[in-house]
Amino acid sequence: MPDEPSAQDDLFLTRPSRPRGPDPSAPLADRMRPDDFSDFVGQDQIIAPGRPLRRAIESDTLSSVILWGPPGSGKTTLARIIARCTKAEFVAFSAVTSGIPELRRIIKAAEQRRGLRRQRTILFVDELHRFNKAQQDAFLPHVERGTIILLGATTENPSFEVIAPLLSRSMVVVLTPLSDEAIGQILDRALADAERGLGQFTVDLTPDARRRLIGFGNGDARGMLEGGEDPRFIARRMVIFASEDIGNADPLALVIATAVFQAVEFVGLPEAQINLAHGTTYLASRPKDNASYIALKEALQDARAFGNLEVPLPLRNAVTSLMRDLGYGQDYKYVHDDPSAKTDQTHLPDRLKGKRYYRPKSI
């Protein structure tokens, strides 16, 4: 006997028996959710006519895709449009409420469907990042064999949150925060639509009120934490900032930033905001020196330009008589033999003699 559809399954149901009219008890956002591209607002860079993703959807030739974008950018809506356009079996799967046993049942059904009817299966996985790396591995063989076409949605950077083999087999589509103009169109449509929206009411919206509502809707761009940004991403950037922009002007900055990252992992929201504020104010108030970062860039540039240069002979370890005969280790100067702990010995290959990479600022 088939399982009862979940709330998420219901979002994607396309059976003819389903009532076509909107459910008046549903939230306004759900009632106004577009069913086709004509109502989809924003994200023209990926779904405008002629764009590769739209062509793949309309021709029903979609391959595995990962939709990456902030909350409210249209990931679930785009998945719903795909569900209505495709002849493939569309299965919705939530990383929050579903697990590996349910995935096994879905895969088994997909294999049978493919074998008996030659029908493809699109598996929509909402919040893909909530699966750990081992759980994501469960998708891989079935994506490789074509048993399923993975349609993943995530608010997190897939470079960090999706395993590399799965990422390499998927097209990553980046959805950007909606512009004020796009949010304004959505607002105006909701106010004018008498069947699905608020058009049956008399709503006199002043220009100032409209601007304020648009501002509230665009919170993702103006407040990372309130808009759902993962605090670990912010903490990770702080760790990078501590080395890249502060460096040896205050070596303790890296210790503080790393401690903040650990605190965010341990404490979690909302209290982790205090740890983030602590780290942010510390880093912002410290002296800045990017000399280490510049030195790294210049050294990498020379490594690419000159290739594998030979290590100077005095620095080579002479572990055999042949090496000693070849001059390995000869004339090596041990810096601690000098009372001032200084030496004029060069440690760079001949082609780089005199080159200085690390130039700290005078702070």
Question: Does residue 49 have a pLDDT over 80?
Answer: yes
Question: Does residue 8 have a pLDDT over 90?
Answer: no
Mean pLDDT for 160-165 is 90
Question: Does residue 20 have a pLDDT over 60?
Answer: no
Q: Which residue has the tokens 């997190």?
A: 156
Residue 331 Rama label (left phi>0; alpha psi -120 to 50; beta)? left
CATH class of 231-285: mainly alpha
Tell me: the pLDDT tens digits for 249-296? 999 999 999 999 999 888 887 788 899 999 999 999 999 999 999 999
Q: Where are the domains of the chain?
A: 7-174, 180-222, 231-285
The span from the CA of 121 to the CA of 110, in Å, is 6
Residue 320, judged by CB atoms within 10 A of its CB (0-12, 13-18, 19+), counts as: exposed
Q: What is the overall mean pLDDT for the chain?
A: 82
Question: What is the phi/psi pair of residue 218, to 5°?
Answer: -95, 25
Tell me: the pLDDT tens digits for 114-134? 989 899 999 999 889 888 888
Question: Does residue 44 have a pLDDT over 50?
Answer: yes
Residue 269, judged by CB atoms within 10 A of its CB (0-12, 13-18, 19+), counts as: exposed
User: What's the pLDDT band for 22 if we cut at 50, 70, 90?
Assistant: low
Mean pLDDT for 354-359 is 85
User: What's the pLDDT band for 73 if we cut at 50, 70, 90?
Assistant: confident
Given this model, what pLDDT does residue 362 score?
Answer: 67
Structural element, H or E, at residue 174: strand 171-174
Least-confidence region, from 55-69, 135-149, 197-211, 221-235: 221-235
Question: Does residue 317 have a pLDDT over 50?
Answer: yes
For the domain covering 7-174, report its CATH number. 3.40.50.300
C-alpha distances in Å from residue 108, one per residue of 91, 114, 115: 13, 10, 11
Flag whether the pTM goes above 0.85: no
Q: Looking at per-residue confidence, does 152 or 190 come out higher?
A: 152
Q: 3-state DSSP call for residue 135?
A: helix
